[in-house]
Structure 1
Amino acid sequence: MELEKRKYPIGVFEKPSVITAQQLKEWIKDIAQFPYILKATVAPLTAEQLQLTYREGGWTIQQIIHHCADSHMNAIIRFKLALTEDQPVIKPYPESLCAELPDSKNFPIAASLSILEGVHSRWHALL
């Protein structure tokens, strides 16, 4: 049970039964604000702190930030495919393997924070 709590500290996602226009506006606002909130949150962290994990065997903070850049780049492309193709194919990617690549493990987070800022700006404009 403790592992489940650590995997999902705010709980497992539950799809709302009704999604209102106001909720959509809030979610779009979240997309716009995410990179700035993340940047402010990690700004005071040292290089050593970026290597900490939330739970044993989990990704480091650095890997999570790089994962956000990877997954959010994939997300905007998936949105665009859904908007432009009659039958879009959503291709998954091996997240856990990507987190082990050198650009996720041994690379400064500044590049991924910049990617997130640009991707989220475009994503917000698209939505």
Structure 2
Amino acid sequence: MEDLRYPIGTFDFEKEVQEKQINFLIDQIEALPELLIRAVEKLTDEQLDSPYRPGSWTNRQLIHHIADAHMNAYIRVKLAMTEDKPTIKPYDEVLWAELNDSQLPVELSTKLLEGLHKRLVVLLRSLSSSGLERELIHPDVGLLTIKKLIDLYAWHGNHHLAQITAGISRMTSK
């Protein structure tokens, strides 16, 4: 079951992010909305409302979760760019996934991600070396740099995209 939950592995907060990796990571963030749209555009409501693995969120909830998380990422980056070590507010992603807006059509979140990622990518590509080192405080994780946030949200998008595509493969191979 662990492979189904983490098809690309877990995120490593201890891993050092090299500046030479940043453009590659930003490219992954930039590509996510289109990859996600292509992955889910032909799914039926039944497939969208099916869990990607036994006991998990549905594909629909997962897509809306990605939008929720990446909206938070955008705000967190802007806070780190404009404030001195801001403390960000965590949120309960499980409770968010149970709210009524997680039952809406997925196109609302994929369209949101298209615009959001365009704005996020412009911000990220504008950062100098010192800008990448700007910090914020996550109450549950501790001190994070924007560079680490870039790594985290590139992983986050790829992680959930892999969950969705693997789930679709399992559904269609039955």
TM-score strictly above 0.5: yes
Corresponding residue of 1:19: 18
Q: Is 1:45 the counterpart of 2:52 in the alignment?
A: no
Q: Which one has more relative contact order, counting CA pairs under 8 Å at least 6 apart?
A: 2
Choose the corresponding residue for 2:116, options 115, 119, 125: 119
- The Cα of 1:4 is off from its aligned counterpart by 2.0
RMSD over aligned CA atoms reads 1.3
Give the one of 83, 90, 103 matched to 2:81: 83
Q: Partner amino acid for 1:87?
A: K
Identity of aligned residues (%): 50
Identify unmatched segments of 5+ residues in structure 1: none
Shift of 1:77: 0.1
2:60 to 62, 73, 76: 62
Unaligned 5+ runs, structure 2: 125-174
AA at the equivalent of 2:34: Y
SS at match of 1:99: helix
* CA deviation after TM superposition for structure 1 residue 18, in Å: 5.0
The 3 A distance-change label for structure 1 pair 63 and 18 is closer
Match of 1:97 among 95, 98, 102: 95
Q: Which of 2, 5, 10 pairs up with 1:4?
A: 2
Normalising by structure 2, report the TM-score: 0.67
- CA distance in structure 1 between the partners assigned to 2:105 and 2:87 by the alignment: 32
Task: Using structure 1 for the length normalisation, give the TM-score.
Answer: 0.90
Instruction: State how far apart, in whole Å, the 2-side matches of 1:53 and 1:32 are.
Output: 26
Cα distance change of structure 1 residues 125 and 97 upon mapping to structure 2, 3 Å threshold: same
